[in-house]
Amino acid sequence: MIPAIFVLTNTPIPTNLTVISCPKSQKPPSKNPQNLNQTLKYLTKSGNLDEAIRLIESSPSKFTDPETYSQLLHSCISQKSLHHGQRVYKQLLKQEYSEKFLENHNLKSKLITLFSVCGELDEARIIFENAIENEGVPESVWVAMAIGYSKNGFLREALLVYVEMLWNCMEPGNFAFSTALKACADLRELWVGRGVHAQVVKSSEGPDQVVNNGLLRLYTQCECFDEVLKVFDQMPERNVASWNSLISGFVKEDKLGEALDVFRRMQREGMGFSWVTLTTILPICARVTALLSGKEIHAQIVKSARRPDVLVLNSLVDMYVKCGVVDYGRRLFDGMRSKDLTSWNTMLTGYAINGYMRVAMDLFNEMASCGIRPDDVTFIALLSGCSHAGLTEDGQKLFHRMEMDFGVSPSLEHYACLVDMLGRAGRIDDALVVVKNMPMKTSGSIWGSLLNSCRLHNEVPLAEAIANRLFELEPCNPGNYVMLSNIYANAGMWDSVNMVREMMQTRRIRKEAGCSWIQVKNKIHSFVAGGGFEFRNSDEYKKIWNKLREAMEEFGYIPNTDVVLHDVNEETKAMWVCGHSERLATVFSLIHTAAGMPIRITKNLRVCVDCHSWIKIVSRVTGRVIVLRDTNRFHHFKEGACSCNDYW
């Protein structure tokens, strides 16, 4: 039963509580303070702040326990109600024992927290300054102010409060350590963070799990991976946040296979996962086309008692479309109860990179009809897709509609897509006109798109002029040097090729090696162009390779050695072509996966023309679907044809 409320005033005060009349045989409730305190506790816990504060205002002398006000302030903090908090503070100042109340450190901490969460940092600071004038101020008051600064984005001020606390000869505890470490991590203040770590080690109070997780996060954010491993290994207990930090550390080190291994170990030890875990792991699966691992995670989501949020579902859709399984990604997308702009952009990007631009445009129209306003990411996905699909006219129309119909001003990235689109189509003069009339300064990405167009259409003099600009803008980008070298090689200008290579050697610029990845069972296998000697000399490799070679000869396949941009004999060129990483990955998959299973390969560079032709024939000879993702797009090979229609 709800306790009765007695308001000691002649003025009627409205209440949203139901009035329950007492039977004649039952005595009315007592007006003693114990009943009033019970009523106040009930109102506070139920969040009925108006009634609770009115009760105090009507009988201030009945409420002399600081804990009562502490609970009420806690409720104000939970609701972020500045108005009610100010009324409670005013009541504290009016109390007969106001000095007793305002000297209570717990109440001071609550007031500082209240004003901080409501964005009133100046008011919080005044209470804090008054509090620290006295001796014996506990850690909780200092930490409340530091957290207040931190939550409002004033991270350096939060650290200064911690330093001021030390200057006042306060010995910090775990509460203070965790606050300081969070600020150091967010500010990437490694050396200050190391100092806090030293204080943690020296402290008589052993670090708790929150402090250890704070150390993990600090070293992860500052990319000190050795320290991440050391802290993790020394932790007596670990929770999901600890494992998440370790996984993030591996991701920052670009050790994606190891990150997946940590996730599996985490599951084996029965730790479970959080949605943060999955939104970290699923993008890894997408990057290395680890569809099997992605499906395992999807199964765990389905089995989970919790309903996944939009962020998790977006990551799941992203994983499927970036593993080339667009249809399944669309099924998930259609089944989402609520979608945000990222959901639509993820699905649009999936269609674009997989070459399904007509479906992407239909989805874009559906998006607009649903009242979802596209943003710059939306148009980057669509324009890039049009460029790689050869839909030049559609792409130009879309570019002009951006600002006119949707209010999205074209950025450098959008202009780069337009220039690339025109250049790929052979309209280099039109692309140059776009560059000349751009409202902003031309970037390296714009000139890089033009240089690639010169490569596609053998425009050597223009390529030289563009390359010189790129060498000024991006002197350390190896891609520009390699592109110019390839243009010279295609034109048979070997002296110029040697000149570019000497320039790279002088400037200590190294070309990125071609590398491909595949997942077989639970392991990621990587292959480097020209490497894998042990594998290539194995009997199983030679057996499959010879079978493929015989079958390909029947189809009239002859290696296209023009893709080897070195001045060597034809035999050496043919040998080098056969050592490209995507071929090694394909043969490995044919050996280690069951007949009929699709093969999924990821490559860090653009697939060469000859490997593209070779994989088309392999798909026909073996009856396998081969999905290859290079830096530009997906290539779905099936029965001797590719989804890109040889335009990429």
| Residues 6+ away with beta carbon under 8 Å from 587 | 541, 544, 545, 548
pTM (predicted TM-score): 0.78
pLDDT digits (tens, 9 = 90+) for 637-648: 999 999 998 887
pLDDT band at 5 (very low <50, low <70, confident <90, very high): very low
Q: What is the pLDDT, as a whole number, of residue 257?
A: 87
Q: Which amino acid is at 585?
A: A
Per the structure block, which two tokens stand in for 586?
């394909």
Q: What is the pLDDT, as a whole number, of residue 285?
A: 93
Are 259 and 250 within 8 A, CB to CB? yes
Cα(232)–Cα(216) distance, integer angstroms:
7
Q: What is the pLDDT, as a whole number, of residue 252?
A: 87
Place of tokens 């670990």: 238
Which one, of 444, 460, 387, 388, lies nearest residue 412 by Cα? 444
Are 97 and 64 within 8 A, CB to CB? yes
H helix count then E strand count, the chain: 34, 6
Angle at 465 between CA 461 and CA 467, to 5 degrees: 110
Which one, of 165, 168, 115, lies nearest residue 140 by Cα? 165
Q: What is the pLDDT, as a whole number, of residue 566?
A: 53
Do the bridges between strand 523-528 and strand 599-603 make them parallel or antiparallel, or are there none, so unpaired? unpaired
Per the structure block, which two tokens stand in for 144?
């409340």
Cα(369)–Cα(363) distance, integer angstroms:
10
Average pLDDT, stretch 602-631?
Answer: 91
Angle at 283 between CA 399 and CA 366, to 5 degrees: 40
Which three-class secondary structure state does DSSP give residue 133? coil
Residue 180: pLDDT over 80? yes
Cα(648)–Cα(646) distance, integer angstroms:
6
Cα(34)–Cα(29) distance, integer angstroms:
11
Residue 63: pLDDT over 80? no
pLDDT digits (tens, 9 = 90+) for 522-542: 888 999 987 877 888 899 988
Residue 569: pLDDT over 80? no
| Residues 6+ away with beta carbon under 8 Å from 404 | none
Q: How far is CA 172 from CA 177, 206, 211, 218, in A?
A: 7, 12, 12, 18
Beta bridge partners of 519: 524
In the chain, % of residues over pLDDT 90: 57
Q: What is the pLDDT, as a whole number, of residue 10?
A: 38
Contacts by 209-214 with C-beta closer than 8 Å and gap 24+? 209/235, 209/237, 209/238, 209/239, 209/242, 210/174, 210/178, 211/174, 211/177, 211/178, 211/181, 212/242, 213/239, 213/241, 213/242, 213/245, 214/177, 214/178, 214/181, 214/182, 214/185
Average pLDDT of every residue of the chain: 86
Residue 76: pLDDT over 90? no
Are 250 and 213 within 8 A, CB to CB? no
Q: Which amino acid is at 520?
A: V
Q: What is the pLDDT, as a whole number, of residue 84?
A: 84
Q: What is the pLDDT, as a whole number, of residue 570?
A: 52
In the chain, % of residues over pLDDT 70: 88
Q: String of b and e for 208-224 (b: at least 16 CB within 10 Å)?
A: bbbbbbbbbbbbbbbeb
DSSP-derived letter for residue 563 is G
pLDDT digits (tens, 9 = 90+) for 12-34: 333 343 333 434 333 334 445 55
Establish how many alpha carbons lie within 13 A of residue 373's alpha carbon, considering only the half-sphere containing its beta carbon.
6
Residue of 333 and 68 predicted with greater confidence: 333
> Of the ranges 9-18, 437-446, 539-548, which one carries the lowest mean pLDDT score?
9-18
Q: What is the pLDDT, as a whole number, of residue 414?
A: 95
Q: How far is CA 125 from CA 51, 104, 113, in A?
A: 29, 17, 10
